[in-house]
């Protein structure tokens, strides 16, 4: 009886050891497979399209904070600022030198090789190709809807900012010294 119990225990332990690879953490996907996935999903093209539309989006969303029409000099300053911001973003958010390496690292830290392989299989199907082709359009539409919502919130945001500026100025005029940073509590 004792031998049968010991044999059963040994068999159970052996089975668990044999299954250990299934319980182990799945390996990180290879850099090559993640790059292939990003290419299949047209990620680089989507980013390039978004950057190309950024100037138009900024132009549409930039208005004078006061709501009054801008004079010629103000318009010139606004347009120069917009051009500088767009140029900076295009430089700093370049697909091949900046964003692709960031996305590869993020995907490798997030997904398993098995998941990347499954996504590659999906995006290789006719439906997957259709989805991949529509993702940039869905992203652009989402951005437009978010910008619209932010524009609707802008008067409230501006009011909050004006109120805070008035209160900060009043606090500065009161003669109070700089705020002290709270000291971290020591555990007891």
Predicted confidence at residue 46, as pLDDT, reads: 82
- For residue 11, what are the contacts with CB-CB under 8 A and spacing of at least 6? none
179 DSSP 8-state letter: P
Residue 130: which of 45, 53, 40 has the closest Cα?
40
Which regions in the chain score pLDDT beneath 70? 1-25, 60-67, 176-188
Instruction: Note the pLDDT of residue 135.
Output: 86
Looking at residue 143, its pLDDT comes to 81
Cβ atoms of 137 and 46 within 8 Å: the answer is no
Q: What is the pLDDT of residue 185?
A: 63
What is residue 10's predicted lDDT score, i.e. its pLDDT? 38
Tens digits of residue pLDDT in 101-127: 999 999 999 999 999 999 999 999 999
Helices (H), the chain: 2-23, 31-40, 43-61, 72-92, 100-110, 113-123, 126-173
Q: What is the mean pLDDT of the chain?
A: 79
**Tell me, what's the pLDDT at 79?**
86
pTM score above 0.75: no
């Amino acid at each position: 009886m004792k031998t049968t119990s010991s044999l059963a225990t040994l068999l159970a332990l052996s089975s668990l050891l044999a299954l250990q690879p299934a319980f182990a953490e799945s390996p990180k996907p290879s850099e090559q497979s993640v790059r292939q996935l990003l290419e299949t999903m047209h990620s680089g093209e989507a980013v390039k399209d978004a950057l190309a539309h950024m100037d138009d989006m900024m132009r549409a969303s930039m208005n004078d904070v006061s709501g009054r029409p801008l004079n010629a000099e103000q318009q010139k300053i606004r347009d120069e600022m917009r051009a500088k911001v767009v140029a900076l973003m295009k430089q700093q958010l370049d697909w091949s030198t900046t964003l692709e390496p960031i996305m590869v690292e993020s995907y490798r830290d997030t997904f398993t090789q098995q998941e990347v392989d499954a996504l590659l299989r999906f995006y290789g199907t006719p439906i997957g190709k259709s989805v991949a082709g529509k993702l940039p359009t869905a992203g652009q539409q989402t951005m437009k809807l978010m910008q619209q919502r932010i524009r609707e919130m802008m008067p409230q945001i501006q009011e909050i900012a004006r109120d805070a500026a008035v209160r900060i100025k009043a606090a500065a005029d009161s003669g109070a010294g700089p705020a002290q940073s709270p000291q971290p509590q020591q555990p007891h």
